[in-house]
Amino acid sequence: MVSPSKRSANKVFKKMGKVIYKEDKPGRAQCANCKGVLHAVPKRKGSELAKLSKTEKRPQRPFGGVLCGNCTRRLVKMETRIKHGLITLSQADFLLLKFARVKK
Ligand SMILES: [Zn+2]
C-alpha cells in the first residue's frame, strides 16, 4: 500500500512496472499586488525553509517578501504624496491602497 503522504503525488511509470512518486516543487514567491516574481525569496518547501535564518527568507526592507521592488517604490511614493497633500485618497492607486500605511 502506498504511504498516505504519497497518495496525491504525481506517479511516474518506469519500465519493468516500477512506479515512482514525484513531489510537487514549490513555485516562486509572488508579489501580492502585481503577481510578479519576488526576488531574493528562496524557492524551497516548508521544512527546508524553516532551517534558514529570518534574513535569508526575505529582503530586509519594508514589504520585503510581500511586494516586489516596483510596487514598493510606487507605494512609498504614493504614501508620501498623500501625507504631504499632493494627491487625495481618491486619486491614489486603488490596488496599492490596501498596503498603504497612511490614515484612510
Ligand atoms: Zn509587484
Domain limits, the chain: 27-99
pLDDT tens digits for 64-73?
999 999 999 9
Determine the distance separating the centroid of ligand 1 and the alpha carbon of 74, expressed in angstroms: 9
Q: Is the Cβ–Cβ distance between 69 and 39 less than 8 Å?
A: yes
Task: Kindly give, in sequence order, each residue whose CB lies less than 8 Å from that of residue 95, ignoring residues fewer than 6 positions away.
Answer: 33
Q: Other C-beta atoms within 10 Å of 103: how many?
A: 7
pLDDT tens digits for 6-41?
777 888 899 888 988 888 889 999 999 999 999 999
> CA 71 to CA 63: how far, in whole Å?
9
> Residue 73 half-sphere exposure, CB side, CA atoms within 13 Å?
3
Determine the distance separating the centroid of ligand 1 and the alpha carbon of 5, expressed in angstroms: 34
pLDDT at 103: 67
pLDDT band at 57 (very low <50, low <70, confident <90, very high): very high
